[in-house]
C-alpha cells in the first residue's frame, strides 16, 4: 500500500465528496437565512415611513409605483411615490390589502397563470411577462387597453380584461376565459400591482422605456 497515491484512493474521494457537499449545503442554508430576512414582506408602517423593502407590504396598492433608473444601483428599481387611488380608494387597511393580495396570489395559482405567462420571469413563454405588467404603458392613459375595454382607470381595464379576455384580443394568440369573477379579478390586479413594486434587481431591463428602432425613435 505504501506506493499507492491518495489521488486514486476511493476513500479520499468519498470524503472529499462528503465535505464539499456539506460545505455547500451549510453555505446555502446560511445564505437562506439572510435572504429570507431580506425578502420578508414589509408592512404599512414601512410604507408610511418610506422604508424601502425588497418586497413591500400589501398596502403598496395605495401608492403610485414607477420604475426608475437608479444611478447608485446601475439599473431600474421600483419607486413608491404619492398616494394613488386603486378601484376608487387609497386607504386600504393592512387587513383589506392583505386579503386582496391573498386572493390574487391564490387566483394566480388556481388559474395556472404561470403556464402561459412568466411571473418574475419564471413560467411559460406563450404570453407576455407579468412582472411589471402594472407599469405597462399599454394599460396607461395613452395605451390601447383602457379604450378597448371601455374603462377609465388602469385597474378597471385590467380587471375587465381578466374577466373577459376572449372579448379583447390583442393578438391571434388569445387568453382563454378562465371563469375569473369580479372579486377574483380585483385580487389579481392587486397581486399584479404588488408584484410590480418588488425590487427585481433591474429585471426586466428598460421596461416600457424603449419605443424601439423599428418605430424610428
Partner 1 sequence: MASKYLTGVGSESKQLATWYFTFAAILFGAQLLFGLVAAIQYVMPGFLYGVLDFSIARIIHINALVVWMVFAMFGSVYWLLPDETGIETVGIKIGKLLFWIFAAAIVVVVLVYLFIQVGPADATTIWFVTEGREYIEAPRWADWGIVVVALGFVGNLFLTGMKGEQTGIVTVLMADMIAFAGLYLAGMFFTDNISVDQYWWWWVIHLWVEATWEVFVGAIAAYGLITMIGAHRKVVEMWLWIEVAMLFGSGILGLGHHYFWIGTPEYWWEIGALFSALEPLPLVAMFIHVLYDWGKTQGAEMAREGVTEDNVKSVITNRPAFTWFVLNAFGNFLGAGIWGFFHTLPQVNLYTHGTQFTSAHGHLAFFGAYATILVGMMYIAVQGTNGIKVMKHTKASLWAVSMITGGVVGMTVALTIAGYVQVLVSRAQMGATWAGYFDGQSGMWFSQAMDWRLIMGVVTFIGFIFLAKDLLTTGKNPVHER
97's enclosing H/E stretch is: helix 94-110
* Window 69-108: contact mask with partner 1 (x via CB under 8 A): -----------------------------x--xxxxxxxx
Residues 27-46 that bind partner 1 (CB under 8 A): 27-28, 31-32, 34-36, 38-41
Cβ atoms of 21 and 31 closer than 8 Å? no
Nearest-approach distance from CB 92 to partner 1, in angstroms? 15
Q: What are the grid coordinates assigned to 171, written together?
A: 393578438
115 secondary structure, DSSP code: G
Nearest-approach distance from CB 88 to partner 1, in angstroms? 22
Q: Give Cβ neighbours of residue 191 (< 8 Å, ≥ 6 apart).
A: 100, 101, 103, 104, 105, 107, 108
Nearest-approach distance from CB 121 to partner 1, in angstroms? 4
The answer to whether residue 66 forms part of the interface with partner 1 (CB under 8 A) is no
Question: 202: closest CA among 154, 147, 152, 132?
Answer: 132
The residue (of 82 and 117) whose beta carbon lies closer to partner 1 is 117
Maximum separation of any 2 CA atoms in the chain, in Å? 86
Q: How far apart are CA 80 and CA 54, in angstroms?
A: 12
Which of 87, 128, 151, 153 lies at the binding interface for partner 1 (CB under 8 A)? 128
Span from 22-30, 43-51, 79-87, 152-160 in contact with partner 1 (CB under 8 A): 22-30
Q: How far apart are CA 132 and CA 208, in angstroms?
A: 9
Which of 121, 141, 164, 167 lies at the binding interface for partner 1 (CB under 8 A)? 121
Which of 47, 65, 80, 113 lies at the binding interface for partner 1 (CB under 8 A)? 113
Amino acid at each position: 500500500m505504501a506506493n499507492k497515491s491518495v489521488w486514486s484512493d476511493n476513500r479520499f474521494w468519498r470524503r472529499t465528496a462528503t465535505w464539499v457537499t456539506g460545505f455547500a449545503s451549510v453555505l446555502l442554508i446560511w445564505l437562506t437565512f439572510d435572504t429570507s430576512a431580506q425578502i420578508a414582506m414589509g408592512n404599512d408602517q414601512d410604507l408610511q415611513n418610506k422604508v424601502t423593502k425588497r418586497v413591500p407590504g400589501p398596502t403598496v396598492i395605495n401608492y403610485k409605483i414607477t420604475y426608475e433608473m437608479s444611478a447608485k444601483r446601475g439599473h431600474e428599481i421600483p419607486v413608491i411615490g404619492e398616494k394613488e387611488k386603486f378601484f376608487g380608494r387609497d386607504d386600504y387597511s393592512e387587513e383589506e390589502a392583505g386579503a386582496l393580495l391573498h386572493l390574487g396570489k391564490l387566483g394566480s395559482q388556481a388559474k395556472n397563470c404561470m403556464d402561459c405567462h412568466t411571473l418574475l420571469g419564471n413560467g411559460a413563454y406563450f404570453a407576455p411577462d407579468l412582472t411589471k405588467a402594472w407599469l405597462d404603458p399599454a394599460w396607461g392613459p395613452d395605451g390601447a387597453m383602457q379604450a378597448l375595454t371601455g374603462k377609465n382607470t388602469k385597474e378597471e381595464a385590467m380587471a375587465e380584461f381578466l374577466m373577459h379576455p376572449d372579448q379583447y384580443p390583442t393578438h391571434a394568440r388569445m387568453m382563454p376565459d378562465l371563469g375569473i369573477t369580479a372579486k377574483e379579478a380585483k385580487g389579481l390586479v392587486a397581486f399584479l400591482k404588488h408584484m410590480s413594486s418588488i425590487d427585481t434587481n433591474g429585471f426586466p431591463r428598460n421596461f416600457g422605456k424603449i419605443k424601439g428602432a423599428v418605430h424610428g425613435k
